[in-house]
Amino acid sequence: MRRLGIKQKIWMTLSIVSLFTILTGIGLTFYLYEKFYVEKQIELLLMQGKRLEAVYDQNGKGEEFLKRVQWTDEGSEGKVIFTDDPMLLSAGVPYDEYFNTNLITFEERQQLLAGKEVIMIREHPRFNQDILAVTIPLLQEELLQGAIFLYMPLEVVYEPFQSIRLLLLLALVFVLLIVIVGGRKISDHLISPLKKMEVISHKMMDGDFTQRIHIKTRDEIGSLSQSLNSLASSLEKVEQQRREFLQNVSHELRTPLSYIKGYTEAIRDGVVVDNEDRNKYMNIIHHEVSRLQRLVNDLLDLAQLEGDSYPMKHEPLSFAQLTLDVLERYELITKQKNIKIQEQLDDDIIIEGEADRLEQVISNLLDNAIRYTLEGKELFISLSQQQSSAVFTIQDLGPGISEEDLPKVVDRFYRVNKARTRKDGGTGLGLAIVNQIVKKHRGIFLIESEEGIGTTVTVKLPLLEI
């Protein structure tokens, strides 16, 4: 069975609501007309009958009473019949030969005998039409002597309602037009954006994240379109990063693999016969393999750190001692480049974290600082406490980073110095790894730089809570 779409559901809902409203309105109109106008006519007939009954009680069926009956008959919309003929008032049994000429039925005559007025709205065989009638009993010493029969055809009663019926018909047509026009506009307002979203979502499913939905409404549909546009933008950015990542990885792998392949073929084919050249080529191969190893390790580290399920250890650590341990490993390199390190460390600072990962942060930052510091220059390293945070900074006097490059330096494979891969052997993942490790430790990683002056990197980590 085919499921109804939103458009069909909207039309069905509008149709049901409109039909219910129309039927309720028509029913209410009939009820109110019956309640007020018809009852008003009944009250009018009863009032006229009571007045005639009062005249009868005073004067009997004399000339004055008969004139009043004639005057009432001629002066009102209804008709008045006075009778003291029991044949007209119905026989004493329910069924008799004068049934079609009787004014009232046997049951109604019983009500008159009890002194009660009789109100009827029915087809009357004597008049061959539907009537509204009131019968007033005329009693003497609790005996029924006659009756006043006041009536008017229902056509007269309902004649004013004919114009109301015309108005109801016009209102029905008007409501239907509103339903058709309004339903179309409402359905177009709701369905058209959803159709656009459906088209865009299919394109997104096929890998095209460049499409956007242009909807300016401020309702839920507009919010949904904005959310879908935001999703498309995010996916487009992720897709762009994925492509750049694959390009960068392929480039990083291609260069060392080309070196390894070329030199191994030269050795294998006997092109290199001199031992000195052979050792030189073997050293190059070893260097390129080491680069590949670092690249793979960095990629694995970054993949683990970007995942939410990476288990990070938390143990009390002396941040100053951690920094001194890393500095000790770089002592030979700094001496070779004649770089002097000025350090100012607060030995009392204790943080909570994973020692290996935090050593990796300090190593990557120090490696970058040494790499870009010219020979004979100085590095400044400090560790201090600010409120409830440990603040670690490394300041170099290198070439600095431009404002354009600064926001991108923590991206994977991004390099300020585009030639650094072959010259210096970096993988382009160091700062990205640092950023992820700091985040895992609930810290903040900041980089400030000015071209020609130098760069300052800052790591803020929460202190150990005691």
Q: Does the pLDDT of residue 309 top 80, yes or no?
A: no
Range from 180-189, 204-213, 322-331 carrying the lowest mean pLDDT:
180-189
pLDDT computed for residue 59 by the predictor: 82
Q: Which CATH number fits domain 238-304: 1.10.287.130, 3.40.50.1370, 1.10.443.10, 3.40.50.150?
A: 1.10.287.130
Residue given tokens 């291609």 in the structure block: 254
Per-residue model confidence as pLDDT tens digits over 391-410 = 999 999 888 888 887 877 77
Q: Does the pLDDT of residue 95 top 50, yes or no?
A: no
Tokens of 374: 């010219």
452 in Cβ contact with 399 (< 8 Å)? yes
370 in Cβ contact with 333 (< 8 Å)? yes
Q: Does the pLDDT of residue 93 top 70, yes or no?
A: no
Taking residues 356-367, report their average pLDDT: 88
Range from 39-48, 274-283, 363-372, 388-397 carrying the lowest mean pLDDT:
274-283
Q: How many CB atoms are located within 10 Å of the residue 247 CB?
A: 11
Highest mean pLDDT among 117-131, 286-300, 374-388: 374-388
How does residue 91 score in pLDDT terms, banded at 50, 70 and 90? very low
More confident residue, 191 or 368: 368
Q: Does the pLDDT of residue 417 top 70, yes or no?
A: no
Residues forming a β-bridge with 144: 139
pLDDT computed for residue 421 by the predictor: 47
> How confident is the prediction for the chain on average, in pLDDT?
79
Per-residue model confidence as pLDDT tens digits over 117-151 = 888 887 777 777 778 888 888 887 777 888 888 88
Tokens of 211: 């499409």
Torsion of CA 19, 22, 23, 29, to 10 degrees: 180
> DSSP assignment of 426-439, as one string?
--S-HHHHHHHHHH
The topology under which CATH files domain 6-159 is Beta-Lactamase (3.30.450)
Taking residues 221-242, report their average pLDDT: 80
Q: Does the pLDDT of residue 29 top 80, yes or no?
A: no
How does residue 426 score in pLDDT terms, banded at 50, 70 and 90? low
Q: How far apart are CA 391 and CA 444, in angstroms?
A: 9
**H-helix or E-strand spanning residue 123:** strand 118-124
Residue given tokens 């590949």 in the structure block: 292
Query: Can you give the pTM of this predicted structure?
Result: 0.50
More confident residue, 287 or 455: 455
Q: How far apart are CA 221 and CA 218, in angstroms?
A: 8
How does residue 238 score in pLDDT terms, banded at 50, 70 and 90? confident
* Domain chopping of the chain, boundaries: 6-159, 238-304, 312-462
Taking residues 61-86, report their average pLDDT: 82
Q: How many CB atoms are located within 10 Å of the residue 161 CB?
A: 16
Taking residues 156-168, report their average pLDDT: 68
Instruction: Give the three-class secondary structure for 87.
Output: coil
HEC states along 283-336?
A: HHHHHHHHHHHHHHHHHHHHHHHHCCCCCCCCEEEEHHHHHHHHHHHCHHHHHH
Range from 20-34, 258-272, 383-397 carrying the lowest mean pLDDT:
20-34
429 in Cβ contact with 296 (< 8 Å)? no
Taking residues 288-314, report their average pLDDT: 73
The topology under which CATH files domain 312-462 is Heat Shock Protein 90 (3.30.565)
How does residue 427 score in pLDDT terms, banded at 50, 70 and 90? low
Q: Does the pLDDT of residue 270 top 60, yes or no?
A: yes
How does residue 96 score in pLDDT terms, banded at 50, 70 and 90? very low
Q: Cα separations (Å) of 195 from 21, 236, 383, 418?
A: 31, 21, 58, 46
Q: How far apart are CA 359 and CA 369, in angstroms?
A: 15
pLDDT computed for residue 89 by the predictor: 62
Per-residue model confidence as pLDDT tens digits over 320-346 = 999 999 898 888 888 888 989 999 999
